[in-house]
Structure 1
Amino acid sequence: MCRIAAYSGPSIPLENIIVRPKHSLLEQSQHASEAKLAVNGDGFGIAWYDQDEAPGLYRDVLPAWADGNLTSLCRMVRSRLFIAHVRASTVGETSRQNCHPFSYGRWSFCHNGQVPHFPAIRRRLEAALPDHLYGARGGSTDSEMIFLTLLANGLADDPNTAMAKTLEQIGEGREPVKLTCVFSDGQTLFGFRYASKGKAPTLYASDTLDNGGLAFASEPLDGDKWDEVPQGKIVELGALKTRQAA
């Protein structure tokens, strides 16, 4: 399973979430404690927002701990909202196109989980995409397909309805669908957990950080208060709202 960390609040260096905490995302890339796999070494990526509507994007196939540029980048780049992801692949080869986060327009998205019956529904989901989203697909993962399907289902207008429609299109297979994702339009940071059976992959929301910001993380980054995101509800950081989505 992959690991995620994301932040919304006053502008900070990326390293304050990705590198410096005791159990940072970089630490989780090698020593995850709430996942089936402790090591997440099949690539990483960051999407961050500044003044432009569309996010900046940096992704690579190297394990996060093996990229000598990552810590320097995270020290120098500041952002008011960003999403970071380290990958343990389940669907799709290890390639830059399959590394998260994915972006389209002002939206960015990353995912932890799996749609086990994805090969059986891939063609149907592809056929349901409008041409502009079908043409935007660069990789082969179930994760990117979930993102594009959310966009096709009206993510920009109503995340709750888009998520419910997307889950309906995915349906169920012999093994449970498990989906934990974090996504943003550059203004609001959304987190969501879902499992068709059993427990969804972990995601926590922080209490207010010492700078007034808020964060999502697959595992708590430090000793501050972190609350597990409830299954089936979209949580919005900033307003701390929840929306029923499944």
Structure 2
Amino acid sequence: MKVVAPKSFTFEGGKRAVLLLHGFTGSTKEVKKLGEFLQKKGYTCHAPMYRGHGATPEELLETGPADWWESVVEGYHHLKDRGHQEIAVAGISLGGVFSLKVAENFPVKAVISMCAPIKRDSTDGLFDRLYNYAKIYKSFEGKSREIIIEELEKLKHIPQDALHGVHAFTENTRKGLRSIKSPTLVLQGTLDDAIYQESASFIHDEVESIEKEIIWYEQSGHIITTGKEKEKVCEDVHGFLEQVEWAEPALALV
């Protein structure tokens, strides 16, 4: 069975724009509900699908952070090319790291980092995430248990350059946090792994933003945009964006 890969999306709203960024082995589905919510509040939202993502795990490993970052930059310019002069950026997990990197390199009205592993000092856990993705993907393809086991074993022997690249990219982004002066919102689930919780506090403390805030979600784990408190996440993101000084008003959809 052919798996239909998730795609990039653009939800048209007003002149205020938000770039939405998904996580490693994830897809734009992770930020779709947030995009739909913000669109109804008058924001145009664009979420790029990174190269290699949504495809087979083997194809994913043929790409790396440089390719995914290029997709992010293209997403930012996609909004610029459509005439949006004021852009905020929000990302989940690795997308949270990318959102911080965008704020370090481009003008943004605000940055929202959700469950970003900025304190990760190794590739620990990355292959496990890829392995779990592979099991799910191959199951959706309708492959037999025997073939899935065989292909998962082969996956272990494919060069893991992409995973090492994630660590280097994250470390580089961490070093630039003090250059971020845009309003910053950090969101974190308290049921998430310790590295993400440590990262949330670190990001909040390190950025040079005068306007910065951290919100914890007591019933949420890692992908808070699709978890038990997803509605509150949407409301908190919108509430924060409404505090930002935009040149253009938000025109909520009726």
Calculate the TM-score normalised by the size of structure 1: 0.29
Larger radius of gyration between Structure 1 and Structure 2: 2
Calculate the TM-score normalised by the size of structure 2: 0.28
Higher helix share: 2
